[in-house]
């Protein structure tokens, strides 16, 4: 019911709007229920400046105390909301279309959509088909960009997921909240230019998508030192649900690096301090440091706030404030967060990452205080603070033995960077001394032995093991045996390269580290690449040999040729055979007597596989290789390749029949002419049979 009150300092009686009257009723009810204080309205539109008639909405009283209340409604810009809803609608349609096409385990960040409503279904279908084609064309790419979309593999998703914050594409609740407050609060400050009372701004959320956290973080960025007439701000999240989000006493305490002003305000004090930490506020960090040293730890902060402090440490590294960064590492390395999962079912707390890691599932985010410490350690190591390396190793050792499997996994991140610096020399000096170097390699091997049943840890650890280039023969045998048995499939390329390194290169490296017999590793590599071991390692090995052939011309390829030929002895594999052909395109002339027989063997195996009912298409690059043989005047080998292809002319699409005629013509007048004529007759009959009507 609309009520009337006698305005103070104003001659006119003006009725308040209904929404204002209802809002003040809810505020009075909140004060009674929350603080057990019975307040009543004693004035409306109380004028603070007679010349401009500037006023605040309500004056309320309780037991002789007065409070000035100014109310305003927080309303979103309609255009922003419309854009956000349109983006969500189109993104959902694209995800649904991708699911129909069988594309599910991908995370995507989408561009801005500007599509009329009637065209959105067709637009989504077209974009989904484009994305599906691109994904099928890039089966080995974990992340790529196409047509404004950023696409990333994300195992475990039931359907494609689109980012809710694409670049320029959606509503920004924090940005809107900050903009509205920056515009409105100075005006409200002027309207509350009164004395002898508590001055309050009461914000009503009228359908805004900005939530409590957005408003709180926006508030924490405002300099209330310039808004001295505002003592408190309350935010109504939804009708009747009200939160105290600003208190002048809390603001002053934080500004002076003091403790919470009262026990009742401690929760708001900590929320504001958390906001300041995530905003990289220097004074907020100094307060955390001062209070934590006095209390003996930082557990008075929430886990989220402590995580924010560690994240802030990366800024200290960037600005070379080494003491502050090291203070954070020393005080948060033993933090209890995240804790260990104790449940077989999926938890809904900060042990979730450990639960996933124990199940061998990937976690695509960094979560938890100790996990963030690992990444801060990485930043310190990458900065080459060599005097800090022994201390860093000690911290990593503790984290590497953590009961939380996810934290162990993250401990590998800085460990890899330490391993990579074991032999580094800067300005004529080694970055890592002998004792620390030994400790690093010892820890890597300890982690390998302790985590064979945790593939997520071992997957990260492979990078560290690959960098142990000075391993002894005994240690190399142990590492290879362990990786061949336990290494996750995702690490096959790295494991294959380490095996190639031990078989071909290690014997001539690190001469001061004792003798090294590579024979055993050559035998293992040969067996793997022949297909007598893991198929993923075989594919990884031929891929690595291809990369050497294409990208490292300074490496002598001759010792690797025999492994290329060994690959030809194994079973057909459509993906890895492509790598084999790519090697031949670069290396065929360097060792034709060895590689040409291997080429014929692979060609016969591929054609046999392609002729199967569900076989793959014939590799188009074969014609180029036969042209190369022709140019090398190896006509006998050319004819042999043709003879291998002839039985498959009718069974394999894509065979270069035009090229076959040219190659056969090239054999005219040679000792091979009779063989060529027989081949030409087979080709002729095959061509005629294909032209016969059914």
Residue 654 confidence (pLDDT) above 80? no
For residue 528, report the phi and psi dihedrals to the nearest 5 degrees: -65, -45
Query: Tens of pLDDT along 450-474?
Result: 999 999 999 999 999 999 999 999 9
> Which of 104-118, 539-553, 670-684 is predicted most confidently?
539-553
pTM above 0.85, yes or no: no
Closest Cα to residue 630, out of 601, 661, 604, 655? 661
Least reliable range by pLDDT among 392-401, 534-543, 610-619 = 610-619
Judge whether 507 and 476 are in contact, CB under 8 Å: no
Report d(CA 578, CA 585) in Å as an integer.
11
Query: Tens of pLDDT along 50-107?
Result: 998 999 999 999 999 999 999 998 876 556 556 767 887 898 899 888 888 878 778 8
Task: Give 387's pLDDT tier (boundaries 50, 70, 90).
Answer: very high
Report d(CA 56, CA 73) in Å as an integer.
14
Residue 147 φ/ψ region, left for φ over 0, alpha for ψ in the -120 to 50 degree band, beta for the rest: left
- How far is CA 519 from each of CA 156, 510, 564, 670, rounded to the nearest angstrom? 42, 17, 17, 45
Report d(CA 346, CA 637) in Å as an integer.
62
Spell out the SS3 assignment of 204-240.
EECCCCCCHHHHHHHHHCCCHHHCCCCCEEEEEEECC
The distance between the two most distant Cα atoms of the chain, rounded to a whole number of Å, is: 122
Residue 684 confidence (pLDDT) above 50? yes
User: 436 vs 611, which has greater pLDDT?
Assistant: 436
Handedness of CA 366, 370, 372, 376 (dihedral sign): negative
Name beta bridge partners: 48: none
Residue 214 confidence (pLDDT) above 60? yes
The CA dihedral of 356, 361, 367, 370, to the nearest 10 degrees, is: 80
Looking up tokens 């280039």, which residue turns up? 469
- How far is CA 160 from each of CA 120, 197, 361, rounded to the nearest angstrom? 18, 55, 18
Closest Cα to residue 615, out of 642, 581, 655, 644? 655
Q: Please report, in angstroms and rounded to a whole number, the separation of the first and last CA atoms in the chain.
A: 90
State residue 1's pLDDT score.
26
Task: Give 678's pLDDT tier (boundaries 50, 70, 90).
Answer: confident
The average confidence (pLDDT) of the chain is 88
- pLDDT above 90 coverage of the chain, percent: 62
Residue 286 confidence (pLDDT) above 70? yes
User: 572 vs 683, which has greater pLDDT?
Assistant: 572
Judge whether 564 and 545 are in contact, CB under 8 Å: yes
State residue 685's pLDDT score.
72
Task: Give 9's pLDDT tier (boundaries 50, 70, 90).
Answer: very low
Closest Cα to residue 109, out of 70, 58, 149, 146? 149
Residue 575 confidence (pLDDT) above 80? no
Residue 164 confidence (pLDDT) above 60? no
Strand order across the beta sheet in which 54-62 lies: 40-49, 54-62, 65-74, 198-205, 232-238, 241-247
Cα 518 vs. chain centroid, distance in angstroms?
A: 38
- How far is CA 687 from each of CA 462, 606, 645, 648, rounded to the nearest angstrom? 53, 22, 14, 12
Report d(CA 349, CA 353) in Å as an integer.
9
Closest Cα to residue 181, out of 207, 159, 158, 210? 210
Strand order across the beta sheet in which 149-153 lies: 143-146, 149-153, 106-109, 161-162
């Amino acid at each position: 019911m609309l009520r009337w009150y006698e305005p103070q300092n104003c001659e006119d009686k003006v009725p308040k709007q209904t929404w204002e009257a209802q809002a003040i009723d809810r505020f009075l009810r909140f004060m009674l229920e929350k603080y057990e204080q019975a307040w009543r309205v004693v004035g409306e539109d109380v004028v603070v400046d007679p010349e401009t008639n500037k006023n605040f909405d309500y004056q309320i009283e309780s037991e002789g105390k007065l409070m000035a209340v100014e109310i305003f409604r927080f309303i979103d810009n309609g255009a922003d909301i419309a854009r956000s809803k349109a983006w969500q609608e189109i993104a959902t349609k694209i995800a649904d279309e991708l699911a129909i096409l069988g594309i599910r385990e991908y995370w995507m960040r989408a561009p801005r959509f500007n599509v009329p409503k009637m065209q959105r279904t067709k637009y989504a279908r077209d974009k989904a088909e484009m994305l599906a084609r691109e994904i099928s064309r890039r089966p080995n790419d974990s992340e790529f960009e196409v047509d404004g979309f950023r696409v990333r593999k994300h195992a475990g998703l039931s359907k494609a997921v689109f980012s809710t914050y694409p670049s320029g594409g959606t509503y920004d609740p924090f940005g809107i909240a900050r903009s509205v407050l920056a515009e409105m609060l100075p005006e409200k400050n002027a309207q509350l230019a009164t004395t002898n009372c508590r001055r309050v701004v009461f914000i009503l959320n009228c359908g805004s998508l900005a939530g409590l956290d957005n408003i709180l973080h926006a508030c924490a960025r405002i300099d209330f030192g310039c808004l001295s007439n505002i003592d408190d701000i309350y935010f109504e999240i939804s009708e009747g649900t009200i939160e105290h989000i600003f208190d002048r006493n809390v603001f002053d305490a934080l500004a002076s690096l003091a403790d919470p002003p009262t026990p009742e305000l401690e929760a708001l004090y900590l929320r504001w301090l958390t906001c300041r930490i995530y905003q990289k506020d220097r004074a907020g960090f100094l307060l955390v440091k001062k209070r934590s040293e006095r209390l003996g730890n930082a557990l008075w902060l929430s886990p989220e706030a402590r995580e924010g402090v560690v994240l802030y440490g990366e800024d200290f590294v960037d600005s070379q404030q080494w003491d502050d960064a090291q203070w954070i590492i020393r005080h948060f390395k033993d933090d209890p967060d995240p804790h260990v999962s104790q449940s077989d079912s999926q938890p809904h707390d900060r042990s979730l990452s450990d639960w996933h890691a124990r199940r061998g599932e990937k976690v695509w985010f960094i979560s938890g205080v100790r996990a963030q410490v690992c990444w801060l350690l990485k930043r310190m190591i990458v900065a080459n603070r060599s005097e800090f390396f022994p201390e860093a190793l000690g911290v990593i050792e503790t984290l590497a033995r953590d009961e939380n499997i996810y934290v162990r996994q993250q401990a590998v991140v800085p460990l890899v960077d330490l391993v990579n610096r074991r032999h580094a020399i800067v300005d004529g000096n080694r970055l890592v001394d002998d004792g620390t170097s030994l400790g690093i390699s010892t820890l890597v091997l300890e982690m390998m032995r302790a985590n064979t049943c945790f593939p997520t840890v071992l997957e990260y650890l492979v990078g560290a093991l690959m960098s142990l280039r000075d391993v002894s023969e005994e240690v190399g045998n142990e590492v290879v045996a362990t990786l061949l048995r336990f290494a996750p499939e995702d690490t096959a390329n790295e494991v294959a390269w380490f095996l190639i390194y031990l078989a071909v290169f290690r014997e001539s490296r690190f001469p001061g580290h004792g003798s090294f017999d590579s024979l055993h590793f050559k035998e293992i590599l040969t067996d793997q690449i022949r297909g007598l071991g893991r198929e993923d390692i075989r594919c990884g090995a031929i891929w690595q040999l291809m990369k050497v052939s294409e990208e490292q011309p300074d490496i002598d390829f001759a010792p690797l040729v025999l492994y290329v030929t060994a690959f030809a002895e194994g079973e057909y594999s459509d993906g890895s055979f492509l790598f084999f052909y790519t090697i031949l395109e670069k290396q065929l002339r360097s060792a034709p007597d060895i590689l040409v027989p291997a080429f014929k063997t692979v060609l016969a195996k591929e054609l046999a596989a392609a002729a199967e009912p569900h076989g793959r298409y014939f590799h188009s690059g074969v014609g180029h290789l036969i042209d190369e043989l022709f140019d090398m005047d190896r006509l006998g080998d050319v004819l042999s390749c043709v003879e291998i292809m002839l039985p498959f002319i009718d069974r394999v699409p894509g065979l270069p029949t035009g090229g076959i005629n040219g190659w056969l013509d090239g054999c005219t007048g040679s000792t091979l002419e009779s063989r060529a004529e027989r081949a030409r007759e087979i080709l002729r009959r095959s061509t005629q049979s294909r032209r016969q009507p059914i």
